[in-house]
Structure 1
């Protein structure tokens, strides 16, 4: 069994695209996923499965569209990938609020170079693999390096979570692993 984090893109942001977390947990359970947990209303789910990772995203996206009536892109990370993305956050960014952009693919070097030339100060950012870390000194509504800019310039899908959510999901993933080890003893 592998533990995964599934991040639903752009749900529960307004009056449309509603995905109640209780209904999401039920749906994931019906798909055979185990130990399903959700975190807040922004579409964060943690679950365990022995299904092959490459089959999960299409399975989830098809089931979500069938259940809720609209397409819901999903970003997946394994528990190990989640722990690595927390560890990879540059400490110098953590001196102010940080948002994490979880990218659908690793951006190409040319796209990163284009983004580096974009004037976004006082915001600061860094990319490690499929993760973009950015500071949010003036608040989310005033971002120069917005979600839309990230997707357009880097040419990859992106969903964003704040650092507190990223850490809390990390705690959920690691607490599950600790409880599994205790049950085996």
Structure 2
């Protein structure tokens, strides 16, 4: 039986010349952790691989190994390809007429506390919009993401949860690469 495809999304590597990890080195590190069929996608820390291990176990192993190897902490969030497909299908901003350049998703390491969600839902930054659904935040940014107030740091601070954000083109490519 094939091992399930999974996607690991690393927070804050290779941004602005800081916290550098070469993708070839990251791939080798994953292979040492016995992850199978490891692929990387762009320099911002996206991994596709196969494994029967629990997502949280993989997250912990990768975080510890990166810290030991490179001397800095990198939050890692893992989702299965099935979970990623479900997210694509349930994004309330994604349809046949959507401009995917305006769509992003913030992955939360774990579910935020209800009171923190309630608080962040009172924040509006029109014309940008967001919907929190479990461990993800679906984003629609009218302008450029880097100009929006609905940044990764905004959600981490307000929800008190480690997070990382990807644009919709990256999400669709990761889904494509994770197919059997």
Indicate how the Cα distance of structure 1 residues 77 and 92 shifts in structure 2: closer, same or farther if over 3 A, else same. closer
> What is the aligned counterpart of 2:29 among 27, 30, 39?
27
Please name the residue that 2:172 is paired with.
Answer: 167
Deviation at 1:95, TM superposition (A): 4.3
Q: What is the aligned residue count?
A: 175
Runs of 4+ in 1 over 4 A off after TM superposition: none
Contact 1:88 1:128 in 2 (8 A): no
Quick check: 103-112 or 43-52, which moved more? 103-112
1:54 is the counterpart of 2:35: no
Matched residue SS, 1:126: strand
TM-score where L is the length of structure 2 = 0.90
Structure 1 spans left out of the alignment, 5+ residues: 178-185
Max Rg structure: 1
Instruction: Classify 1:111/1:172 alpha carbon distance in 2 versus 1 (closer, same or farther; 3 Å).
Output: same
- Give me the whole-angstrom Cα distance separating, in 2, the residues matched to 1:16 and 1:52: 30
Aligned to 2:151: 146
Structure 1 residue 56, shift from structure 2 partner: 1.1
